Structure 1
Amino acid sequence: MTAALFRPVRTRNAFEETVERLLQAIRLGVAAPGERLPAERDLAARLGESRVTLRDAIRAVADAGYVESRRGRYGGTFVAESLPAPARRVAPPGDLEDVLTLRHVLESGAAEAAAARALTPADRQHLAAALVEVSGVDTDQDEYRRRDSRLHLAIAEVAGSPSLTTAVADIRSRVNELLGAIPLLAANIEHSNAQHQAVVETILSGDVPAARQTMAEHLAGTAALLRGFLCA
């Protein structure tokens, strides 16, 4: 699972932030429906929190319907197969532009930074796998958003900056709330998949200007849809 989402908790609100991290991982699809979360000892170590705090957070997330505990040899904490429906919220125009501007800066920069690095074979495989994954979805909105998020996070991860990955994850959560309020269009999926392919190819080839430009174009398409549906 994406390490940046389970980074050490650094605030005094340990319980609240732990709940936030768990929900973010689930909503972004890093922890998919039916998937087992890391073992309690491992997850507590990653978060830098006590197992008591982690258990309280998991209990709260379970009460909200996002995870469930299973007993037995293959037991543990699993993401619920059917997740609660997200609240549909429409951001005021000013908030929408704030999100879109920050996303443009972060994700265009992430693509540029990824292309500028000497990627390892593991990095290349990670990007390629995420691209194949999102390209295999047609009209399932929730599944497409989940795999789309994974690809964008993968690009940030191979840029080599954990702080950047964290920032992209945070802005992606805000973007997904907005995307959840608009329909998923078949033509847009086809276009997005072509753009995803182009972004990954420019990163893998080390073409820094093209990586930034292709990502910016991809983000601009999503921004146009959001403005069209939410600001009319």
Structure 2
Amino acid sequence: MMSFPGGTSVSHLDVYSDAAGDGICGGSPHLHLVSTEAYLVVSGEGELQSIDGEGYRETPLTAGSVVWFTPGTIHRAVNNGGLRVVVLMSNAGLPEAGDAVMTFPAEVVADAAAYAEAASLGAPQEQAGRAARRRDLAVAGFEVLRDAALAGDPAPLAAFHAAAGALVRERAAAWPGLVAAGPLAQAQESLALASAVAAGDVGHLATARVHEAAASTGERRFGMCGRLRTYDVTAVPTDQESSR
């Protein structure tokens, strides 16, 4: 039984089209500490603003673009018109467990309670407003990091990385288990199947099945970069699948 390829998660993202405090339309800048993220652009135009050890960069996004960024890359999705992407995240379940830190100003990231308050979406009727406010706060911190990168000063980025690590350290204790049960387990299963085929055993082919992902229902939820439609890509046990 295998889950979605590579132990990844998949979602459909409509990047926010309203303007942040700097007049640019798009999402909340943030990074992931362990997971790699990929954008497969479905339609529209925009760009990915990013900050990493090599500095600040703007990568154009148009229909058909495939862009991915590794852990520690601060990224901001910019919507120049109708930008919609399919998002693939490595380590399915880990991003949902807190593998992301938004680029709030340094004093907020250094205070776990202040960060939690700034990141919270609150009650359903508050979520649109709070999503916009947290995006604007993340953009304010992003501008400081961007300007430092453009000036050739690596210290603010290094300080943000350290603060982000400190912020998530306690909850990160559960992350190795999520990786072991997800992508590592799938890689081990693939290795076992490859070894079986090499030994002339193809018995697993008889259990082949098609799986269809169930999309989340109702309104798209507010994510960091836009409105999300998520998909349940966990594997269905063979006995359940065959009973349909």
TM-score above 0.5, yes or no: no
Structure having the higher strand fraction is 2
After TM superposition, the score normalised by the length of structure 1 is 0.26
Higher helix share: 1
The structure, 1 or 2, with the larger RCO (C-alpha pairs under 8 Å, 6+ apart) is: 2
Q: Larger Rg: 1 or 2?
A: 2
